[in-house]
Structure 1
Amino acid sequence: MANFSLGTATVSDANELGHLMALAYKNDPIQRNLLPFALRGDYWGAWLAHDFARAGEVYYKSTDVSSRGRDSDEFLSSKIVAFAKVRYPGPIDSKGDFEGEPPEGTDIQTLVHWFEQMDAYHEKHASYEKDYYLNVLCVHPSYQRLGLGKMLLTRFLADADKEHARVYLQATELGHPLYLKYGWVDIEDMVTQTPEGPVVWKCMMREPGDGAKGII
């Protein structure tokens, strides 16, 4: 039976997180148009590694610890099966945007458009200095519906509620129902144009303490 631990990831986890992200969003209508699946993990791993150095960035991870060694505190085997990329309020840093070279086969136009949309709507609706931000929440497909999303959200939202702060996010169609359950409300549609047509994500805001009963 799986046993899960909650912790904070380090930059050494970035590549593993990138491959988990690629797998979790394998069929996402935006990401499947961006770059070949076999190359996504390394690209997202490099992006995550870059953002580790940003002010306020924190990565929470849920690890499946299969067993412990007898008479030992060391884990025999473990793997990251879910993570959340979040940002705590603070000054806007000067780290700069990720400029990693997209692999061959990337739809550069869609990639640039998507990133520009996310940045523009974030700046429109939220403050880096005052608001919390949930950037990525993903769970391995084989570990969904086990409460891992709730585990990660509970950890993050406890800090936001303690500071009486708002939490902003941009939700995919798949993730949208989960966020409604934990207190977020829709504030505007964000539309990304892809070769398959427009894809709508929901810009959402959670006021301090909203949905607190849902995460206990």
Structure 2
Amino acid sequence: MATAGTLKLEPATLEDAPAIAELWFAAFTDPDMRHLFPDTPGFRQWWIKANHDDMINKPFQKYIKVVDTASTDEQGRPRMIAYAKWDLSMLSDRGTRYPPWHEDQPADECAAFFDGVDQNRIRIMGDLKHYYLDMLGTHPDYRKRGAGSMLVKWGCDLADREGVGAYVDASKAGAPLYEKFGFVDHSLPGSESTVASMARK
């Protein structure tokens, strides 16, 4: 698959689930997100299993990763430095996004947050066929080196080949990355949300 110097884009595998969880906690340190997804041993195991089960049971969700071939992990494999999950289903066909919330999470707040995210996606995309960038995280040591662009480009190229749109719930800080690939922020005027609802139609 695609390469950029020592960085290489590959499909993620089931054995990558623990590394995906570790990378996620390194990448997402925002207090609001940590409130919903707390860094506790129990929740880490929940997160590993959630991603592992998605890989097995949801073939329409494509996990891809970027590794650094010049660095190795504890198993001697090229170090995973970024990953993404592209969901190729329609929202109505996706089923439940997450398993039942872990006891360490504020369940009502999690449900309200992700319901709001889904409602914005419906408002903007409607019945338009599109692919959804469900998750993208880059390790802080590797930001601004092109890994995120490799992961976004993978899904945008696929969408272009198949003539469909793309959508992402981006952080405000991450929005410029998606703008480079033609995503437009459709957040409601005056919204105080930390999420930018971005579409590429």
With normalisation by structure 2, the TM-score equals: 0.81
1:33 CA displacement? 1.6
Partner of 1:60: 64
* Consecutive unaligned residues in structure 2, runs of 5 or more: none
Matched to 1:130, the amino acid is K
- The Cα offsets for residues 183-209 of structure 1, whole Å up to 9 and x where unpaired, read as 1111124999xxxxx6431111112xx
How has the CA–CA distance of structure 1 residues 54 and 189 changed in structure 2, closer, same or farther, with 3 Å as cutoff? Answer: farther
How has the CA–CA distance of structure 1 residues 93 and 199 changed in structure 2, closer, same or farther, with 3 Å as cutoff? Answer: closer
**In the aligned structure 2, how far is the partner of 1:85 from the partner of 1:121?**
19
Partner of 2:49: 46
1:60 CA displacement? 1.0
- Superposed CA RMSD: 2.9
Matched to 1:124, the amino acid is R
Q: Is the 8 A contact 2:131 2:155 kept in 1?
A: no
With normalisation by structure 1, the TM-score equals: 0.76
Deviates more, 1:16-25 or 1:113-122: 113-122
Q: Percent identity over the alignment? A: 26
Matched, 1:36 2:42: no
Partner of 2:98: 98
Deviates more, 1:47-56 or 1:91-100: 91-100
- The Cα offsets for residues 79-118 of structure 1, whole Å up to 9 and x where unpaired, read as 21101110124695475443245143x2223222122222
* Consecutive unaligned residues in structure 1, runs of 5 or more: 69-74, 193-197, 208-216
Partner of 2:155: 156
**In the aligned structure 2, how far is the partner of 1:181 from the partner of 1:54?**
29
**In the aligned structure 1, how far is the partner of 2:100 from the partner of 2:18?**
14
Partner of 1:211: none
Quick check: which has more Rg, 1 or 2? 1
Matched to 1:155, the amino acid is W
Larger helix fraction of residues: 2
Partner of 1:72: none
